[in-house]
Amino acid sequence: EAGVAQSPRYKIIEKRQSVAFWCNPISGHATLYWYQQILGQGPKLLIQFQNNGVVDDSQLPKDRFSAERLKGVDSTLKIQPAKLEDSAVYLCASSLILAGYTGELFFGEGSRLTVL
């Protein structure tokens, strides 16, 4: 079974530029998450989708970050304009179910963003 695919793996941009990250979840996984992991810290949830609807985007900096999940499959996370503090690894994860005692999250390898 193919895992969660993310691209690009690495991106270097100047501050105030824009960047977009793409995620393809595991087939059949209804729930999709974007996490931000700053070096030396744990992942922080940015946004959670259930199919193509947003479940939680309370920690998404909406003045510069946007995300969409068209047709309930692939997702794109965009940052515009980027700031130095956005340098991080952006992790996409997917899971089969939302609630209950199970619901393992499967993570991609991440997209590493460096803002200069």
Partner 1 sequence: QQQVKQSPQSLIVQKGGISIINCAYENTAFDYFPWYQQFPGKGPALLIAIRPDVSEKKEGRFTISFNKSAKQFSLHIMDSQPGDSATYFCAPRRTALIFGKGTTLSVSS
Q: Which is nearer to partner 1, 73 or 105 (CB)?
A: 105
Q: What does the per-residue mask of binding to partner 1 show for 74-93, with x meaning CB under 8 A?
A: -----------------x-x
**25 is a site residue for partner 1 (CB under 8 A):** no
Among 12, 54, 97, 98, binds partner 1 (CB under 8 A): 98
> What is the sign of the dihedral through the CA atoms of 11, 72, 92 and 2?
negative
**42 is a site residue for partner 1 (CB under 8 A):** yes
**23 is a site residue for partner 1 (CB under 8 A):** no
Are 30 and 72 in contact by the 8 Å Cβ rule? The answer is yes
C-beta atoms surrounding 107 within 10 Å:
16
Determine if residue 40 is left, alpha or beta; phi over 0 gives left, psi from -120 to 50 gives alpha, anything else beta.
left
Q: What is the largest CA-CA distance in the chain?
A: 43
Footprint on this chain of partner 1 (rule: CB under 8 A): 4, 33, 35, 40-45, 48, 55-56, 91, 93, 98-99, 101-110
